[in-house]
Amino acid sequence: MPVKVLIVDDSGFFRHRISDLLSGDKRIEVVGSAQNGREAVEQAKRLRPDLITMDVEMPQMNGIEAVRVIMRECPTNILMLSSLTHEGAQVTLQALEAGALDYLSKDMRAWMEHSSSLEKQLRDKVVELGNSRQAKRSSIFSGSDSAGSSKSMVFRPETTSPARKPLSSKPGLTERTGSPEQRTAASVSSLRSRIPNAHSPSTGAVQPKSSGKKTIPAGCKVVVIGSSTGGPAALQQILTQLPANFPYPILLVQHMPKTFTSVFASRLDQQCNISVKEAEDGDQLIPGRALLAPGGHQMIIDPRGQDRVKIMPGDERLTYKPSVDVTYASAAKSYGKNVLAIILTGMGADGCDGAKLLRQKGAAIWAQNKESSTIYGMPQAVVNAGLADAILDLTEFGPLLSNRRMS
C-alpha cells in the first residue's frame, strides 16, 4: 500500500512542488492539500493520511497550532518544512514539542533547482514516517494518553523553564582558564577508513548477542549517545532524568543542521539538571556535562588529549555531519572498553560500524527497542549485527543511567 500524504502549505508553488516530487514515487500517493492550518485539521480528519507535510507560517491557523489540534483530535505522523534560520530552528523544535516527528529544510533555492538530493531525502522521509505504525507519541511527547497536552510534554516551553545557574556553578564543573594549545587530530577521512562500508545498512537477520546486561561498565569514562529521526524527543526523555551530579561526561550525536544544534543544545540545557552545550573545539569532557556535536561538523575525542573533544569540518565523503560512526570510532580508539554507547531512534544505519569497533574493544552497547523508536533503522542495524548488550525501551534509559544498581 502506498503512503497516503496530505500536503499543507499556504504557498501554491510549494504545494505543487511537493506534490510533483512525491507523485513520481510509486510508494507514495498524494491524497489532498490544504492552504492553512484550519484546512489541514479538516482534511486530516476526513482523509486520514499516513503522513502530513506541514508548513509553519500560514494564515488563520499556523503549523504549530495545527499540529497540536491534529495530535489531539486525529493523531497523524507529521513532517515539518522549516527554514534553516535561528527562528526556523526555534519554531521547528516547538513543532516537535507539539507532536511532529521530523523536519526538512525549506530552502527555496534547493526546491527550485530540482535537487536530486532533496528529492531523495523528501521521499525517503515520507516513506519511512508514513510506514511507521508504532504508537510512540504518547510515550515520547506526553505522560498521558492525551497526545498534544502541553502539561505532560517531555519538551517544555522555555517560558516556563526554571532559571538555570551559570555553567561554572553546576556540580562537577569548573571554569576553564587560559587558551589551551590547539591539538591536531587524524582527518575525518582517516577515521572513516577505520569504518569500512560505514553507510551500508546491515541486512542480515542475525539475532543479537544480548545477554540483557544493563549495567554501566565499571571503569566507564564516557557515555556516547547517537540518534536521528525522533532523537530530539528521545534525548530529552533520557537527559531530563539525570541528576546534576551524573558521574560521567556525555557526548551527543544528533543528525541536525548547524543552526538547529545550537538552539537544541540551549533548550536541553534549560530543561536538564546536567549541563548541555553545543560542543566547541577543545571543550573538556566533564562529569555531569553533555556536549552536542555541532551540525555540519564531526566530533571526536582528541587523540592527543583524551579529556577534550576535537571538532572537525564535515567531510563531503561522509553522508552524516555529524556522524555517529565517527564519534563511536573515536571513543573506541581513545577509551576502549570504558565506554557506554547508546544508539537511539533514527533512519539508516549510522552508528552500526562504529559500534563494531566498540564491540571489538569490549565496550557496552545499549540499543533502543522497536516499540519505542520513531524509526527503528539505526538501533535495528546494531541489533541485527549482534552488537547490543541490551535492548531497552526509551523509558528505561534514564532510570538505568541514574541508578547503577538497577538490573
**Which residues carry out catalysis?**
228, 255, 350
Q: What is the CB neighbour count within 10 angstroms for residue 284? A: 15
User: How many Å apart are CA 18 and CA 79, to the nearest integer?
Assistant: 12
Please spell the DSSP secondary structure of 264-298, one letter per residue: HHHHHHHH-SSEEEE--TT-B--TTEEEEPPTTEE
Give the separation between CA 311 and CA 317, rounded to whole angstroms.
17
Cα torsion through 334, 335, 340, 342, rounded to 10: 10
DSSP code per residue over 56-109: SS-SSS-HHHHHHHHHHHS--EEEEEE-SSHHHHHHHHHHHHHT--EEEE--HH
**CB-based contact 10:36 (threshold 8 Å):** yes
Contact 387, 209 (CB under 8 A): yes
How long, in residues, is the chain? 407
Helices (H), 99-202: 108-112, 116-131, 137-141, 188-192
First vs last C-alpha separation in the chain: 42
170 CB-side CA count, 13 A: 23
Secondary structure of residue 51 in the 3-state scheme = strand
CA 356, 359, 364, 370 torsion-angle sign: positive
Beta bridge partners of 339: 222
CA–centroid distance for 277 within its chain: 15
Task: Cell numbers for 303, please give them.
Answer: 587523540
